[in-house]
């Protein structure tokens, strides 16, 4: 049991956990501000279009438009408090619940999108962790706490959540195409169809992906690479494997962007893989030293 505790709750700097809150919270604040018109567009009462998913299944009917708009406004406010570390013990869980409801609600009016799931899961983990004990407005004027296992479980859980998400993606590939996926033809056809559809619709497409379709052998390697990364995702929990895996997954998302003009912004920002790295060292860089001092933390 002590070995299990050491694995899941390693002694970790408080600044590392707080830095993850700043990174994920900063991404989230920008996300909700940029997507605000889209989020508000779901202030609807058309019962025929409403097919609730996730926690929204608890609602018998669409939320009143004015009430939904209020919830979106509260998400914006709590995104800022989460980022800054204001009353984290109370406002961070409230933010996680509000964000879960709003994102689930938007998926209840049409196609269910999975692109926000990992970001949302990381917010939930950080919301219930002591992620504002430093680098926060809550901690201004207080000495930075020493390294402790209480700061280690959340980064480890964030890695496990990410690994689970990619493992499920790999399993979905096998369930959809079986062993034929590693032959490359399924991936090649998917890239060809996606780009052809976008060309027909006048949408942004990938000239590179379209140009590589005549070379089937290339897609064999890409299929093996993607499937190995996804099915091998649980190995990322091992310290020696996690960082190379993160770089490989980031390269995978760059490949998706290059071949299909599809950008999964959260992984592409690399914040999704930040729990695998000593992110607290970012504050030693000159551009961030001033911000750290404003939050009450020295070099």
- Residue 140: its pLDDT value, please? 86
Domains contained in the chain, number: 2
Distance from chain centroid for Cα 66: 29
156 within a domain of the structure (yes/no)? no
Q: Are 285 and 140 found together in one domain?
A: yes
Provide the mean pLDDT of the chain. 91
Q: Which of 65-79, 147-161, 182-196, 243-257 has the lowest mean pLDDT?
A: 182-196
249 within a domain of the structure (yes/no)? yes
Q: Are 141 and 39 found together in one domain?
A: yes
Q: Are 140 and 56 found together in one domain?
A: yes
User: Mean pLDDT throughout 272-297?
Assistant: 81
Kindly compute the dihedral angle of the four CA atoms of residues 279, 281, 287, 290, in this order, to the nearest 10 degrees.
Answer: 100
1 within a domain of the structure (yes/no)? yes
Q: Are 126 and 201 found together in one domain?
A: no
157 within a domain of the structure (yes/no)? no
107 within a domain of the structure (yes/no)? yes
Bridge partners of 12, per DSSP, are 148
Q: Are 53 and 172 found together in one domain?
A: no
- Residue 169: its pLDDT value, please? 92
pLDDT over 90 percentage in the chain: 68
Q: Are 137 and 210 found together in one domain?
A: no
33 within a domain of the structure (yes/no)? yes
Rounded Cα distance, 34 and 223, in Å = 34
181 confidence band (pLDDT: 50, 70, 90): confident
294 confidence band (pLDDT: 50, 70, 90): low
- Residue 7: its pLDDT value, please? 80
Q: Are 109 and 215 found together in one domain?
A: no
Q: Are 82 and 19 found together in one domain?
A: yes
Q: Are 285 and 217 found together in one domain?
A: no
Per the structure, the complete domain to which residue 208 belongs is given by 163-268
| pLDDT over threshold 70, residue 296 | no
110 phi/psi in degrees, rounded to 5: 180, -140
C-beta of residue 135 within 8 angstroms of C-beta of residue 85: yes
C-beta of residue 22 within 8 angstroms of C-beta of residue 88: no
182 confidence band (pLDDT: 50, 70, 90): confident
172 within a domain of the structure (yes/no)? yes
Give tens-digit pLDDT for 210-231. 899 999 899 999 999 999 999 9
Rounded Cα distance, 61 and 59, in Å = 5
Listed residue (31, 25, 28) closest to 137, CA to CA: 25
Q: Are 42 and 64 found together in one domain?
A: yes
| pLDDT over threshold 60, residue 299 | no
User: Mean pLDDT throughout 140-144?
Assistant: 86
Q: Are 238 and 299 found together in one domain?
A: no
User: Mean pLDDT throughout 150-170?
Assistant: 96
Within a 10 A sphere around the Cβ of 208, how many other Cβ atoms? 15
Rounded Cα distance, 113 and 166, in Å = 15
| pLDDT over threshold 70, residue 298 | no
C-beta of residue 142 within 8 angstroms of C-beta of residue 296: yes
**Range with the largest mean pLDDT of 95-99, 109-113, 197-201:** 95-99
Q: Are 293 and 235 found together in one domain?
A: no
């Amino acid at each position: 049991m002590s070995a299990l505790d050491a694995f899941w709750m390693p002694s970790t700097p408080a600044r590392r956990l707080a830095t993850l809150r700043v990174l994920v919270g900063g991404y989230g604040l920008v996300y909700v501000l940029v997507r605000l018109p889209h989020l508000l567009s779901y202030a609807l009462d058309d019962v025929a279009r409403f097919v609730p998913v996730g926690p929204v299944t608890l609602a018998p009917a669409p939320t009143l438009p004015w009430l939904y708009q209020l919830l979106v406004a509260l998400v914006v406010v709590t995104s800022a408090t989460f980022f800054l570390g204001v009353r984290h013990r109370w406002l961070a869980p409230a933010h996680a619940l509000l964000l879960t409801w709003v994102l689930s609600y938007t998926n209840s009016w049409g196609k269910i999108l999975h692109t926000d799931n990992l970001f949302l899961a990381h917010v939930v983990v950080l919301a219930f962790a002591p992620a504002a004990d430093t680098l926060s407005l809550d901690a201004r004027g207080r000495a930075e706490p020493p390294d402790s296992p209480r700061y280690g479980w959340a980064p480890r859980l964030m890695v496990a959540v990410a690994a689970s998400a990619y493992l499920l993606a790999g399993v979905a590939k096998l369930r959809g195409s079986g062993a034929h996926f590693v032959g490359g033809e399924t991936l090649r056809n998917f890239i060809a169809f996606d780009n052809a559809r976008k060309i027909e619709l006048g949408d942004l497409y990938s000239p590179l992906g379209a140009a590589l379709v005549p070379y089937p052998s290339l897609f064999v390697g890409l299929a093996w690479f993607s499937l190995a990364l996804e099915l091998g995702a649980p190995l990322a929990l091992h310290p020696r494997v996690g960082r190379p895996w993160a770089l490989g997954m980031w390269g995978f998302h760059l490949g998706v962007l290059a071949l299909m003009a599809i950008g999964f912004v959260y992984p592409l920002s690399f914040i999704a893989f930040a729990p695998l790295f000593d992110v607290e060292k970012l504050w030693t860089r000159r551009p961030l030293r001033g911000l750290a001092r404003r939050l009450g933390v020295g070099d």
